[in-house]
Structure 1
Amino acid sequence: MELKYEFYIGAKPDKVWEILTSKEGTRSIFFGCELRSAFREGEPFEYRGPGSDGDETVHVYGTILAYEPGKRLSMTEHPGPSYYSNHAELESRMTYTLEEMGECTKLTLINDQWTENHPGMENARASWWMILSNIKTLAETGRTLQLGE
């Protein structure tokens, strides 16, 4: 199963990249979670933030597969330990690709290679629309969407 999204954003790729990879940017678009990583291929990453285990809840973790600043970020990902006891067995791949198009950026996200019967896939299907819409809005306006609680 593959989840694929394409967004056209009225901002240059470096601005979109900053939102995708900086602590401040990811806190704004990923429900208060920061992306923490050394951003080297083969190195680990975590999205940490408020949750059932306090402010340092690990929501998603995995390994960086590709890191090309301003162009491509690919990662294997697992749900955090507080979500499923078999979290290490549950995996998918997330790949962001940025393409400059004039004064805009085409952002493509592919979330694929899902472990069979992955219980988080339906949640991801619903959440990606909010996250990607928030990236677009933040890059274009400097503000995030007020989606409520």
Structure 2
Amino acid sequence: MSRDVQANESLFVYVTYIRTTPAELWTALTGRAFTERYWYGMHQESDFRAGSPWQLRFADGRVADTGEIVEADPPHRLVIRWRNVFRPELADEGDSLCTLEIEAVEQAVKLTVTHRVARPGSKFIEAVSGGWPRILSNLKTLLETGEVLMPLVATGA
């Protein structure tokens, strides 16, 4: 769901339930080898500690996004200050804040991704509202079946 929450903010929230454990989901969200499988060959570079730098890179090494780990509470919560640097029209919007919350629920884990930008009508939020559902569907399917749902590789085009 993408919407303007206040006159000065754009917000995207996605909730999914995955048959896994919080620890396995944390590893899938932060581990390079696993991330490359569901994020179309892309990977994150960070030690995932508060204050640490963070980057999202294409398979060929180009930087797509940069930022900083704002908060890390494994395996419950991860907050990333996130800026797209690959597409100028998105980079011009400045930093966004991405919060991933992991909560055990019965035999599954509830994953809530909240991505926000302090500006109305954000093109960045519009872009992630199309990307996150594909990425998280791949993640869910990979964790539950061992295979990704959509194995296309990101080209960065």
**Do they superpose with TM above 0.5?**
yes
Structure showing greater relative contact order (alpha-carbon pairs closer than 8 Å, 6 or more residues apart) = 2
Determine the structure 1 residue equivalent to 2:6: none
* Cα offset, 1:114, TM superposition: 4.0
When the two structures are aligned, how many residues end up with a matched partner? 144
Determine the structure 2 residue equivalent to 1:31: 40
Q: Runs (4+) of structure 1 moved beyond 6 Å?
A: none
* Cα offset, 1:91, TM superposition: 1.7
Match runs of 1:1-149 below 5 Å: 1-50=10-59, 55-80=60-85, 82-84=86-88, 87=91, 90-146=94-150, 148=152
Deviation string for 1:41-86 (max 9, x for gaps)? Answer: 1111001123xxxx11111110101111111110010002x32178
The gaps in structure 2 that reach 5 residues or longer are: 1-9
TM-score normalised by L of structure 2: 0.83
TM-score normalised by L of structure 1: 0.87
Deviation string for 1:78-135 (max 9, x for gaps)? Answer: 002x321782752211110100112210001100134455432211111111011111
User: What percent identity do the matched residue pairs reach?
Assistant: 29
CA distance in 1, matches of 2:82, 2:41: 18
Name the CA shift for 1:85/1:112 in 2 (closer, same or farther; >3 Å): closer
